[in-house]
């Protein structure tokens, strides 16, 4: 965590890609079958924070972003911005960003390779400086996320874009060094491409129309942030976004939206442990697909206030089928968590993953805990079982790690989860929040042995 009122760069000790992250040296032990109760504070949206930090490059004045979660990914994005000459300072959950003096237009590979979201900087860098050099972000555990839509869109805006030796070189020809508005159709509603091109178009000459644009709440959040800086954007949240370019943007003080995936994860935590949990702040419309599926299995979600939801589990939960889709469909980022829940639901459920081709690797770990899941291609058949049993498991990606935590909360005995660096990328103080509502768990060094029966009476995360 970055201490308050300290330069963010002083606190970023991201390991090199050739060293084992410190988080890999610890494990999370969970003693399951504990009832949960109470209220959970939902943090700011990780995926909004990352792209809005990149969006601050568009502005030559100070920007303050509030409700920024304290996460490994946020720290890594801060390192990338700092490498460009941007000044950052954290005060509580607020992040002050000053991009008035960008010293260079090239991001270092050793940083970009650790965070795919860092590729977002190419749009605002190009729009602001007329040139950008960003390494290709490389592979991803959950599947391919090519940048061809980004590249084609930037070319449509008038940029010269070449890919050489693993780096995307983009620059604007001519003395004005401004992109030119264009009509761009995206072959698929890519969130990353939509956000990259929307940021690039804010400072372009003329009007840009993005068709088949992504409609995710984080896209709307970025548009609202850019509008707060003086950008002219309309249609965000629909499949057609229109951006009328302006010469420059000004400073702003902006608060990002609550994290809908964290909120969904805690809703499932209540359901899988048959416990009532209250969550705030949330935006219920962002969780419509998740709420619908919870209700379809027999749980209920009650809105106690405009920004507060309460999960009321059913006595028994039944099966349901899920197909992941772009927003407003069921989010791929909630697929693993729901699979954990469906392992304990009566009957047979089918999950079809359509967004990422390699996002079912948590199946083997859930089966290790006693689940009955069969995978064929991108389809998982889940046969509900009466009980899960605690076991040593390995997190394979961010949302898989959350699914294993949920399974551990419901399992008999102790579950021990390795590779916690995935979890730390996207959940702020997850262990602390679970402890506050009654979970029994602790994080320990990997070489520290504890008998499975030795559950701590008042566990504290380390």
Enclosing H/E stretch for 264: helix 260-272
Give me the phi and psi of 110, to 5 degrees please.
-60, -20
Q: How is residue 181 written in tokens? A: 């508005």
**Backbone φ/ψ region at 222: left (φ over 0), alpha (ψ -120 to 50), beta:** alpha
Residue with tokens 């990780």: 46
Length of the chain: 462
Structural contact between residues 154 and 180, judged by C-beta atoms closer than 8 angstroms: no
Contacts of 292 (CB under 8 A, 6+ apart): none
Q: Which residues sit opposite 168 in a β-bridge? A: 134, 163
- Four-point Cα dihedral 260, 89, 133, 249, nearest 10: 80
Burial class (CB in 10 A: 0-12, 13-18, 19+), 364: middle
The single residue of 140, 188, 226, 419 carrying the catalytic annotation is: 140
Indicate if 63 belongs to the active site.
no
Asked whether 303 and 284 are in contact (CB, 8 A), the reply is yes
Task: Cite the active site residues.
Answer: 140
């Amino acid at each position: 965590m970055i201490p308050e009122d300290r330069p963010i760069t002083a606190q970023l000790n991201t390991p090199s890609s050739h060293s084992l992250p410190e988080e890999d040296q610890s494990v999370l032990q969970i003693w399951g079958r504990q009832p949960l109760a109470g209220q959970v504070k939902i943090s700011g949206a990780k995926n909004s924070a990352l792209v809005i930090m990149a969006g601050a490059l568009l502005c030559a004045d100070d920007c303050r972003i509030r409700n920024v979660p304290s996460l490994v990914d946020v720290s890594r994005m801060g390192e990338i911005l700092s490498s460009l000459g941007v000044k950052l300072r954290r005060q509580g959950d607020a992040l002050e960003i000053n991009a008035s003096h960008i010293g260079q237009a090239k991001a270092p590979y050793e940083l970009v390779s650790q965070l795919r979201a860092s590729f977002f900087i190419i749009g605002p860098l190009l729009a602001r400086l007329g040139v950008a050099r960003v390494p290709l972000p490389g592979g991803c555990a959950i599947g391919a996320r090519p940048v061809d839509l980004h590249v084609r869109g930037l070319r449509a805006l008038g940029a010269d874009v070449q890919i050489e030796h693993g780096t995307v070189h983009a620059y604007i020809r001519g003395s004005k060094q401004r992109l030119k508005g264009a009509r761009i159709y995206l072959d698929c509603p890519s969130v990353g491409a939509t956000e990259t091109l929307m940021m690039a178009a804010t400072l372009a000459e003329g009007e840009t129309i993005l068709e088949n644009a992504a409609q995710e709440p984080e896209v709307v959040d970025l548009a609202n942030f850019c509008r707060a800086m003086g950008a002219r954007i309309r249609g965000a949240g629909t499949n057609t976004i229109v951006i009328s370019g302006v010469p420059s943007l000004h400073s702003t003080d902006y608060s990002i939206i609550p994290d809908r995936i964290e909120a969904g994860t805690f809703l499932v935590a209540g359901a899988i442990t048959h416990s009532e949990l209250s969550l705030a702040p949330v935006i219920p419309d962002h969780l419509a697909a998740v709420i619908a599926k919870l209700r379809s299995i027999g749980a209920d979600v009650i809105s106690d206030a405009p920004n507060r939801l309460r999960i009321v589990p059913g006595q028994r939960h039944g099966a349901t089928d899920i197909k992941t889709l772009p927003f407003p469909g069921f989010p791929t980022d909630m697929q693993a968590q729901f699979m954990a829940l469906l392992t304990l639901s009566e009957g047979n459920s089918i999950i079809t993953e359509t967004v990422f081709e390699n996002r079912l690797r948590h199946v083997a770990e859930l089966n290790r805990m006693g689940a009955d899941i069969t995978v064929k291609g991108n389809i998982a058949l889940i046969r509900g079982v009466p009980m899960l049993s605690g076991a040593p498991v390995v997190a394979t990606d961010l949302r898989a790690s959350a699914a294993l935590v949920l399974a551990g909360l419901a399992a008999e005995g102790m579950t021990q989860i390795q590779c916690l660096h995935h979890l730390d990328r996207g959940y702020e103080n997850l262990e602390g929040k679970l402890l506050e509502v009654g979970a029994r768990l602790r994080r320990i060094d990997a070489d520290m042995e504890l008998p499975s029966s030795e559950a701590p009476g008042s566990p504290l995360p380390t």
